[in-house]
């Protein structure tokens, strides 16, 4: 256990001095194996080489570049503006309606981009000008974009859920299905947060101008292709028509078809989308290789077994252990970004979660690990909008430099409180996560 804890401390120290998390974990994992094998470099580096081969030859991970390409193509086609206009047609005339439209559009865009930061960056350019035109307070306008962007890491196709599935060996398709209802719950709670803000301070979010019926119909019609693509992807996975990696291929091809059909396809846009996809995918694969090397080291040192023995010896209940993990994530979220937290902690926590017997009859731990994955992602969402890091806040700050970071952090407070409510609901009612992927309606083990 001592070796593993020292390795964790070194990785955290390297990340704090701004070494990329994938490189930090890979480097520490490789050197750790060399140490365990009496500094025989040829023998110690063998597991690192195995990890590189295993990750790069894993067919299931083809979903990553394909889903990223789908999101990039949709972003290049300008469909984010269509989503915002359609949402505005539905709720724009309500008090706080433009902020609500932003939340709905962020939910829709994240469902096809799979990226929180991309959603926040894109929607800020679409939604902020309209909210400023109608006199929205900076706290509400910027917060609705920053918070709405966090929906991108849970609503499928989610890159973080793909990475979680890789780290835990769980079905990516089932994780996608598990994220649907919690994602919808997040959208609803964010809308309630907007309604509360404008109820408390009406001048913060005036109602927008009504949209005439013809324009409203046209706005809604424009987003139908995106909705169809989403239904095909998720519906196909749910019905067993195709696997998650096949769904990724369908999604990328469908994004090209939609772009051509609506007259927004361009070769320059395709080249840019492919270039961005390659850059993003390479970074993620470096992260996954480093995580795999470090994960092998942690298993080799026996740390997961030691933690399980520690829990059993002290009589900690499953939910006590889960509560401790949630506190650890909230603390780490103050200084780490989302992928760093997940790749560093999930290989350690997942075996413990699978062994604690949260659900009766869940011998393999599949139900517990899928449920835990959604909980981890929601905690990660909270970290994206809470100080002092709050990556979505800083992304937005770079887009609107005239708004202070403190202003945005004050504005997102009702939204991360809404996420806390969602977290409590998901822990107390696992059906929100497990009903779609596993058809589970009873939880006698709770």
- In DSSP notation, 164-224 reads HHHHHT--HHHHHHHHHHHHHHHHHHHHHHHHHHHHH-GGGSPPPPPPPHHHHHHHHHHHH
Contacts of 330 (CB under 8 A, 6+ apart): 379, 382, 383
Residue 308 or residue 441, greater confidence: 308
Task: Compute the average pLDDT of residues 276-288.
Answer: 87
Q: Token pair for residue 378?
A: 């929601």
User: For 378-391, what is each residue's pLDDT tens digit?
Assistant: 988 888 787 776 77
Percentage with pLDDT > 90 across the chain? 15
pLDDT recorded at residue 443: 40
Integer angstrom CA distances of residue 163 from 61, 317, 347, 377, 409: 9, 28, 11, 11, 28
**Residue 226, pLDDT score:** 83
Nearest to 228 by CA among 220, 409, 182: 220
Burial of 59 (0-12, 13-18, 19+ CB in 10 A): exposed
Q: Residue 254 half-sphere exposure, CB side, CA atoms within 13 Å?
A: 20
Give residue-wise pLDDT tens across range 313-348: 777 888 889 988 888 887 777 667 777 788 888 988
Q: Is the pLDDT of residue 159 over 70?
A: yes
Closest by alpha carbon to 194, among 248, 140, 235?
Answer: 140
Mean pLDDT of 427-436: 89
Torsion sign (Cα): 65, 68, 70, 76:
negative
Distance CA 90, CA 85 (A): 9
To the nearest whole number, what is the mean pLDDT of the chain? Answer: 84
Please tell me the predicted confidence (pLDDT) of residue 113. Answer: 66
Q: Identify the pLDDT of residue 117.
A: 67
Give residue 444's pLDDT band: very low, low, confident or very high (50, 70, 90).
very low
Q: Which residue, chain included where needed, has tokens 């990785």?
A: 11
Q: Read off the pTM.
A: 0.87
Q: Are 178 and 371 in contact (CB under 8 A)?
A: yes
């Amino acid at each position: 256990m001592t070796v593993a804890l020292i390795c964790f401390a070194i990785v955290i120290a390297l990340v704090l001095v701004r070494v990329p998390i994938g490189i930090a974990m890979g480097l520490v994992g490789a050197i750790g194996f060399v140490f365990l094998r009496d500094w025989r470099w040829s023998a110690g580096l063998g597991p690192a080489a195995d990890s590189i081969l295993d990750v790069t030859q894993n067919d299931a991970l083809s979903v990553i570049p394909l889903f990223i390409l789908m999101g990039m193509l949709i972003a290049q086609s300008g469909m984010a503006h269509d989503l915002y206009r359609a949402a505005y047609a539905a709720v724009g005339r309500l008090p706080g309606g433009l902020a609500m439209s932003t939340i709905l559009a962020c939910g829709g865009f994240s469902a096809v981009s799979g990226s929180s930061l991309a959603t926040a960056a894109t929607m800020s350019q679409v939604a902020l000008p309209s909210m400023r035109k109608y006199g929205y307070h900076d706290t509400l306008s910027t917060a609705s974009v920053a918070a709405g962007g966090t929906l991108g890491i849970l609503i499928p196709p989610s890159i973080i859920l793909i990475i979680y599935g890789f780290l835990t060996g769980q079905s990516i398709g089932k994780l996608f299905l598990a994220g649907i209802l919690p994602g919808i719950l997040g959208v609803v709670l964010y809308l309630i947060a907007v309604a509360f803000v404008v109820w408390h301070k009406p001048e913060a979010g005036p109602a927008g101008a009504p949209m005439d019926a013809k324009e409203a119909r046209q706005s809604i019609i424009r987003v139908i292709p995106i909705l169809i693509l989403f239904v095909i992807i998720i519906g196909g996975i749910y019905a067993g028509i195709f696997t998650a990696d096949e769904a990724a291929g369908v999604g990328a091809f469908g994004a090209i078809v939609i772009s051509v059909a609506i007259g927004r396809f361009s070769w320059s846009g395709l080249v840019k989308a492919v270039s961005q996809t390659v850059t993003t995918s390479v970074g993620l694969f470096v992260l996954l290789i480093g995580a795999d090397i470090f994960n092998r080291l942690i298993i080799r040192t026996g740390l997961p077994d030691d933690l399980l023995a520690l829990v059993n010896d002290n009589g900690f209940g499953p939910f006590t252990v889960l509560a401790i993990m949630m506190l650890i994530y909230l603390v780490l979220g103050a200084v780490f970004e989302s992928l760093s937290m997940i790749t560093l902690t999930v290989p350690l926590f997942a075996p413990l979660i699978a062994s604690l017997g949260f659900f009766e009859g869940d011998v393999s731990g599949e139900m517990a690990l899928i449920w835990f994955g959604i909980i981890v992602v929601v905690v990660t969402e909270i970290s994206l909008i809470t100080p002092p890091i709050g990556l979505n806040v800083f992304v937005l700050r770079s887009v609107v430099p005239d708004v202070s970071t403190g202003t945005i952090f004050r504005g997102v407070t009702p939204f991360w409180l809404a996420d806390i409510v969602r977290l409590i609901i998901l822990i107390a009612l696992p059906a929100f996560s497990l009903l779609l992927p596993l058809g589970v309606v009873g939880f006698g083990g709770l």
